[in-house]
Chains A and B, each alone.
Chain A
């Protein structure tokens, strides 16, 4: 029930804005390592603008979402999700269509999420991780389909442990999760097809 008068508005023009988000994310997905800007939108608490834009564009009545601890406790954010997206929140990450990680500290192992199945690899979890910075200068080297030349991406998520998990995720192709890194209004995507390695200046 919405009683909270702080309730924020959604997109002013949902059709147009969500198409824009979709287009930008598609580009970022097709060219891993590309950092794209998403349209501006009101947000709540610690949620980055880009994360909110992703929620408003991708989540609907039929989406199942898993939230990291910090986000789960944010009452206003939960109300906002329920009101604007109508999605259901699940406690079980392996059944989630999307996962939203508010803080890197709360990031579980990627293996807890659904990698999809042989018949429907597309039913894997899309994991949105909020990061404090995102840069294509330095960081890990990306290789794979859609990556031309020396493409790099730097974000605080790339720890040795994460790279190990990513490697395992990449190995099980065509299964595996896709990761969206959100920072401010920006997003970069790591599709399961991409290989991460050759860490420079870490």
Chain B
């Protein structure tokens, strides 16, 4: 892999991360982030917000051939900012406005003018909350770790 490719992979990884966090954010977090922006960029829809479903694939025995497990809702949207940046938004929620804001933030994250501001007001708070949620859950789960003792049977 040459350095240009490495850069590209890094860029993709960063974008993957923020798109995933935007998907997991609550609508309230996104709206709050949006309201904090003083000079809001203008944008138009390339794909108006819509809700549909995706089929979740699982594997037989967890590792074997794939099969269709069941569906999940998904909302998505695509926008173009006035300065040309295109953003895509996705969420498993049944919530078009969520997809719209996620798309706008994805576009803004690609724009160096907005990036650091969106990172601090939207992306990182969501990342922190997700991390906190996981660690609280992990602590509770750890308290139920059990070690069963096998009792020797009388006739042995």
Contacts and interface: CB of A to CB of B under 8 A. Distances in A.
Interface string B64-91: 0000000000000010100010100000
B88 to A, nearest CB: 8
A103 to B, nearest CB: 27
A10 interface: yes
A14 B84 CA distance: 23
Contacts of B80: 5, 7
Interface string A31-56: 00000000000000000000000000
Contacts of A5: 80, 84, 86
Contacts of B58: none
Interface stretch (B22-30, B43-51, B115-123): B43-51
Nearest to A86: B52
B72 to A, nearest CB: 14
Q: Which of B45, B47, B84 has the most CB of A within 10 A?
A: B47
Nearest to B47: A10
Contacts of B84: 5
A8 B46 contact: yes
A83 interface: yes
B86 A83 contact: no
B48 A12 contact: yes
A13 B78 CA distance: 14
B73 to A, nearest CB: 15
A185 interface: no
Contacts of A137: none
A2 B80 CA distance: 12
Given A2-B86, A5-B80, A7-B86, A13 B48 contact: yes
Contacts of A13: 48
Contacts of B45: 9, 12
B47 A84 contact: yes
Interface string B82-102: 001010000000000000000
What are the 7 A-B residue pairs with the smallest beta carbon separation, nearest first? A9-B46, A5-B84, A7-B46, A10-B47, A9-B45, A14-B48, A12-B48
26 contacts: A2-B86, A5-B80, A5-B84, A5-B86, A7-B46, A7-B80, A7-B86, A8-B46, A9-B44, A9-B45, A9-B46, A9-B47, A9-B48, A10-B46, A10-B47, A10-B48, A11-B48, A12-B45, A12-B48, A13-B48, A14-B48, A14-B50, A83-B46, A83-B47, A83-B78, A84-B47
